[in-house]
Amino acid sequence: MLSYKTHRTRHPDANISLYRELAVVLVLLVVVICLPAVSQPPTTTPTTPPAPLTTDDVVHKLVDMNIRRQKALRAFRGTRIYRAEYRGLGARSAEMVVRVHYEAPATKDFTIESATGSKLIIDRVFAKLLEAEKEALNADVQRRSALTEDNYRFTLTGYEEGPARAKYILVVEPRTRDKFLYRGRIWVDATDFAVVRVEAQPAKNPSFWTKNTEVVQEYSKVGGFWLPAQNRSVSTIRLGGRAELSIEYKDYEITPVADASGRPTRSQANGPAIR
């Protein structure tokens, strides 16, 4: 009879299966957290932060400004640095640098500038991440993942008057266990009514292999728009070990696109403000 140790060493496909599951986990995490970033709006000229509002007031302004200002972001370019590492039943890590070009309403092109490390992670995680982000532009997926009262219950739990900008803090609970939703906390800029930080867990466990997953997404102001700045997710694996994924976003450039007549149009950073 084979010992347990010998049995494990004679089945390398078990590790491959786990890595494949981890790829699914990481892809879903990025889809869950990055989808709201598609609709993060450009900002208006800063004004004095208003007095604390009710939960309904904050949510209504957030949803309204997301809808209005999403239309204003016509195109941008930027650089992503993807890093992934797994430690548990073996160890793998990889890094990939990608240039991205977005054009409204639903076009994203990626150019891979470099990729190093585990080929399995590059092919089965990073490549899937890029595919998932393109699929996330689908109108039905955006509807299912949007920060709206159809998808979430919101509770205002705090108000921060920081040295730079004031923020509302809300707890968000998904109304369904949809794989595109999450539960946790969001920080909403009190002037622009854009999400600037997310701390969350997926509404639905992406995989049998994971016991717990924590995700943090932050946004930064670029040319009047709030765009993703960094994402980090950490998953605790059921059989032992951790999977970590980070995405660094940089070198943003808000770019013009041609209208139907061929004339360039620019993103309107100074969109309509809510009074």
Mean per-residue pLDDT pooled into runs of 10, the chain (275 residues):
36 50 56 49 49 89 87 92 89 95 92 95 89 86 91 94 88 91 94 94 79 90 89 85 92 76 53 31
Q: Which of 39, 24, 18, 208 is nearest to 125 (CA)?
A: 24
What confidence score (pLDDT) does residue 270 get? Answer: 42
Residues facing residue 195 across a β-bridge: 188
Sign of the CA dihedral running 199, 125, 250, 79:
negative
* Helix, strand, or coil (residue 127): helix
- The pLDDT score that the predictor gives to residue 17 is 54
Q: φ, ψ for residue 272 (rounded to 5)? A: -65, 140
Within 10-54, residue ranges assigned H as helices are: 12-38
H or E element in which residue 188 lies? strand 182-189
Query: How many residues does the structure list for the chain?
Result: 275
Q: Give the per-residue pLDDT at 271.
A: 39
pLDDT of residue 242: 87
Q: How far apart are CA 55 and CA 66, in angstroms?
A: 16
Long-range contacts: 113-122, Cβ < 8 Å, 24+? 113/79, 117/92, 117/93, 118/92, 118/93, 118/94, 119/94, 120/16, 120/19, 120/92, 121/19, 121/23, 121/84, 121/86, 121/92, 121/93, 121/94, 122/94, 122/96
pLDDT at 132: 85
The pLDDT, as a whole number, for residue 101 is 96
**So what's the pLDDT on residue 77?**
96
Q: Are strands 195-202 and 75-88 parallel, antiparallel or unpaired?
A: unpaired
Handedness of CA 75, 76, 77, 80 (dihedral sign): negative
Q: How many CB atoms lie within 10 A of CB 244?
A: 15
